[in-house]
Amino acid sequence: MKTSGKVLFYAVTMMYWFSMYTYVPILSLYVEHLGGSIFMIGLVVGSYGFTQLLVRIPLGIWSDRISKRRIFIITGIACAVLSSLGLAWTENIWMIFGFRSLAGIAAASWVAFTVLFASYFEPDEAPKAMGIISFYTSIGQMAATTIGGFLADYISWSAPFYMGALVGLIGLILALKLVEKQTEVKKKPVEVKELMKMGGEKLLLSVSLLAIIVQCITFTTMFGFTPLHAVALGASNAGLSILTLLSTLPNAIAGYMSGSFFVRRIGERQTVLLGFLVAATCTIILPFTTSFTLLIITQAFNGFAQGLMMPVLMGLAIQSVNEERRASAMGFFQSLYSLGMFGGPFIAGWIGEWVSLSTGFIMIGGLSFIGSILAYKWLPNSSIKLNNNSLSQ
């Protein structure tokens, strides 16, 4: 792939995620501002994962069946633009729930993004490819969440939604120029029996279940209820942008380093194990932080820990799968981890409504400790062989 093509792919990736994350720092506060309960906040935040859970496997199968990726990328970005515009135009909580659900459909096209990008690399370079694309994902999310809080603070609640729609529209135009490899081979569609067999493959199922726990942590803390605790400590909307920036920046750095640095030196199992242990500790102590500065420090480490894990798990999910079935495997993987996007905030919101939000954080932290035990038992204890050439140039 030519350098110009890579730059275009990186730009589209960043704009795609930017369009869905400009309002993430203030979403839970916005729902609360409109009169929503803690449980309703959990439903709105979790709806993003619920629709992904429903859509990702069918999308992956469809993509493999027609051997196309680009059309799904374009459609996903279009859904992201419509979602942002819809959120800007309504103050009805159930409509917000619906448009955030549409963002989940947009995010489901990430299956096509990852498979198309992985096709530019050798099969055994999948973990490093996922590290690179995860880096640009984090950059897009980080830029969006940093700007969003300031827009809400200094312009209006709706400003982050409009900004997301604008950047998404630019990304949509650029996506029309993406290049996809043409294949002359007519592929046999994936059958349900084959998909079930694929889902029963030990490594794919193991990394998918571990990814559920990672997403539980992410969408309960960084993209869920941490902003509510931050406001209780005196943070403004602009302060929430700073908090999210200093959570997502370490996440981006860790995502870029996980495959090329950590895995090479300590292996897949130890990299994921380290991530779970750090995330568990930071999540459990989160409700006990008594200053905004201390909260930022703990969540910076939390973001770094989460960034270590996901690229490795994504790479392992497709590493042993034939290229013509990679979208189906990635769809299975991403659909399962969407359970964490939905289940984490839903359960934490329910506990927060009937017990306390602090209890919800502690429960999710405990789940992360369980994840470390499962990672030790399930993941291979070897380093992935990586090409010495820089794949990001």
Mean pLDDT by 10 residues, the chain (393 residues): 72 95 93 92 93 84 82 95 96 95 93 80 68 81 90 94 97 90 55 63 88 94 92 93 90 80 88 96 96 96 93 80 70 84 92 91 95 92 43 28
Residue 127: predicted pLDDT: 61
Residue 384: predicted pLDDT: 44
Q: Domain 190-381 class?
A: mainly alpha
0.85 surpassed by pTM: no
Structural domain boundaries in the chain: 1-178, 190-381
DSSP codes joined into one string, 131-184 = HHHHHHHHHHHHHHHHHHHHHHHHT-TTHHHHHHHHHHHHHHHHHTT-------
The answer to whether residues 225 and 41 touch, using CB atoms and an 8 Å cutoff, is yes
Residue 185: predicted pLDDT: 46
- Do 1-178 and 190-381 have matching folds? yes
Backbone angles phi, psi at 14, to 5 degrees: -65, -40
Residue 261: predicted pLDDT: 86
Length of the chain equals 393
Domain 1-178 has CATH 1.20.1250.20: yes
Residue 26: predicted pLDDT: 92
Residue 179: predicted pLDDT: 78
265 DSSP assignment = H
Sign of torsion over alpha carbons 354, 234, 35, 226 = negative
* Structure token pair of residue 347: 């359960």
Q: Calculate ∠ Cα 68-74-75, nearest 5°.
A: 95
Residue 349: predicted pLDDT: 92
